[in-house]
Structure formats: C-alpha cells, structure tokens
Amino acid sequence: MMRVEIVLIAKTNVSAGDELTYDYLFDPDECDEFKVPCLCKAPNCRKFMN
C-alpha cells in the first residue's frame, strides 16, 4: 500500500477543532446537475464545492 501525506500551510494559527477549507479549483462552468453544494456559509463562499 502506498502512503500519501498531505501538508497544509496556514496563514494564521489553527487550533484543534477549527474547520479548514480547501479550494479544489473545479471547473466553474460544470453543469449544475453535477455540482456539489457547499454548506460552509462563509461570506465569500462560491456556494458549490465544484
């Protein structure tokens, strides 16, 4: 089995229990029926995961 490690570098301190978000840079022109809604409610949210 191959081991994969992911490193995230934050601009600010991250405390245990804080929620992290990641922009996967999905195609913004993807058909609406395939879009996954985002429920983060952040003011700058794009409303979809993809």
Host domain of residue 26: 22-50
pTM of the model as a whole: 0.42
Q: How many domains does the chain have?
A: 1
Q: Confirm whether 15 is domain-assigned.
A: no
- Joined together, the tokens standing for residue 20 give 């992290």
Mean pLDDT for the chain overall: 85
Q: Is residue 37 domain-resident?
A: yes
Residue 10 covered by a domain: no
Does residue 14 form part of some domain?
no
Q: Is residue 13 part of a domain?
A: no
Do the Cβ atoms of 10 and 33 come closer than 8 Å? Answer: no
What is the pLDDT confidence band of residue 13, given thresholds at 50, 70 and 90?
A: very high
* Structural domain contains residue 4: no
